[in-house]
Amino acid sequence: MQRIRSVLIAFGLFAFACSSASAYDPSPLQDFCVAIKDFKNGACSYRRFLLFRPKQAENTSNPDGSNVTMINVDQILGLNTLGISLVRIDYAPYGVNPPHTHPRGSEILLVVEGTLYVGFVMANPNNCLFTKILNPGDVFVFPFGLIHFQFNIGKTAAVAFAGLSSQNAGVITIANAVFGSNPPINPDVVAKAFQLNKNVVKYLQSRY
């Protein structure tokens, strides 16, 4: 009986380890593995790496006043299994990259132009906010999975580049997820969670 129990515990730990490992990018088993479209992380194509050139500046005429250009495995198939990706973020004056999180990666941000007010919030129960004002050449790190943001506090446009520890880190914009889900979250749930009037919640949901 003791041996059976030990085997079951060992099997459970192995299963847990496997399930935990699957949450991250796979470790490469070769020098590189250029992804075949729609078969990322699996079959490899040894054709040349693809080159992606982001435009010099992206359109920031939207409610947030920012534009994020993703440069991940969807644009460069050669990033498959390498566990890295890049984004370019353009900010209009007083534009914001709103509070969001990356479910599959940490982020390191380099400011190229402008002045940004950036920050992230620790997990419950502390919910401690860490912020800094960044100028060109400054670098800031956003830890894995934590809610973070960037805000252009200058009167001119700003540009930043960010490296991510995943070939496709994903992004969850908090406001979009809460107020713009499809189908919508029951307004009673959101009203109670955010301590808002139900009509305010319905209005915000209509905006998204």
> What's the confidence (pLDDT) of residue 76?
84
> What's the confidence (pLDDT) of residue 115?
98
Query: How would residue 9 be classed by pLDDT, with cut points 50, 70 and 90?
Result: very low
Does the pLDDT value for residue 13 go beyond 50?
no
> What's the confidence (pLDDT) of residue 45?
61
Residues annotated within the binding site are: 97, 100, 102, 107, 148
Residues annotated within the binding site for Mn(2+) are: 100, 102, 107, 148
> What's the confidence (pLDDT) of residue 51?
59
Of residues 176 and 6, more confidence is placed in: 176
Ordered structural domains, the chain, with CATH: 26-167 (2.60.120.10), 171-208 (no CATH)
Does the pLDDT value for residue 24 go beyond 90?
no
Of residues 25 and 2, more confidence is placed in: 25
Does the pLDDT value for residue 22 go beyond 60?
no
> What's the confidence (pLDDT) of residue 195?
96
Question: Residue 122's closest CA among 143, 95, 100, 93?
Answer: 143
Identify residue 16 by its one-letter amino acid code.
F
Pairing relationship of beta strands 116-121 and 107-113 according to DSSP bridges: unpaired
> What's the confidence (pLDDT) of residue 28?
64
- Whether 66 contacts 89, CB under 8 Å: yes
Query: How would residue 153 be classed by pLDDT, with cut points 50, 70 and 90?
Result: very high
Distances (CA, A) of 130 to 106, 127, 177: 16, 10, 23
Q: Mean pLDDT throughout 200-205?
A: 96
Does the pLDDT value for residue 55 go beyond 80?
no
Does the pLDDT value for residue 19 go beyond 50?
no
* pLDDT one-digit tens code per residue, 63-108: 999 999 999 988 888 888 889 999 999 999 999 999 999 999 999 9
Alpha helices in 146-186 (DSSP H): 174-179
Phi, psi values for residue 206, rounded to 5°:
-70, -30
Residues annotated within the binding site for oxalate are: 97, 102, 107
Of 29-38, 44-53, 121-130, 172-181, least confident by mean pLDDT is 44-53
